Amino acid sequence: MRRESATTHKHGRLRVLMLAGLLSLCAAASRADEGAGGYADLVGRVLPSVVNISVRKAVPAAGGSETRDSGGVVVGSGFIIDPAGYVVTNRHVVVDSYSITVGLSDGTRLVAHVVGHPPATDIALLKVDPDHPLPAVQFGDSEKIRVGERVLAIGNPLGLGGTVTAGIVSALNRDTADTPYDNYIQTDAAINHGNSGGPLFNMRGEVIGVTSAIFSPTAGSAGLGMVLPADDAKFAVTELREFGRVRPGWIGARLQQVTPDLSDAFGVTTTRGALVAAIQKSSPAEAAGLRVGDIISKFADRTPTDVRSLMRMIAESPLNSETILTVHRGDSDMKVPITVREYPPAMMVADFPFELSKPPTESGDLGLRLQPLGASTRARLQLPADTQGVEVASVPPGSAADRAGLRTGDVVLQVLGSVVATPSDVQKGLQGAHGRGRAESGLLIVDSSGQRWVALSTSAEQAR
Which residues belong to the active site?
Answer: 92, 122, 196
β-partners of residue 455 are 442
The rounded distance, in Å, linking the Cα atoms of 202 and 42 is 10
Nearest CA-CA partner of 258 in 240, 277, 273, 242? 273
The rounded distance, in Å, linking the Cα atoms of 256 and 185 is 22
Please count the other Cβ atoms lying within 10 Å of the Cβ belonging to residue 284: 21
For residue 257, how far is the Cα from the chain centroid?
13
CA dihedral 16, 20, 21, 25 (to 10 degrees): 150
Cα–Cα separations (whole angstroms), residue 38 to 41, 42, 44, 151, 163: 5, 6, 10, 12, 17
Nearest CA-CA partner of 254 in 282, 216, 293, 304? 293
Residue spans of beta strands (DSSP E) within 230-362: 249-250, 253-257, 274-279, 295-299, 321-329, 332-342
Please count the other Cβ atoms lying within 10 Å of the Cβ belonging to residue 115: 16
Cα–Cα separations (whole angstroms), residue 315 to 287, 341, 380: 18, 9, 31
Nearest CA-CA partner of 440 in 291, 258, 267? 267
Cα–Cα separations (whole angstroms), residue 429 to 231, 298, 363, 415, 421: 44, 29, 2, 6, 12
**Consecutive H or E run containing 16:** helix 2-46
Find the largest Cα–Cα distance for the chain.
108
The rounded distance, in Å, linking the Cα atoms of 147 and 367 is 44
The rounded distance, in Å, linking the Cα atoms of 258 and 396 is 26
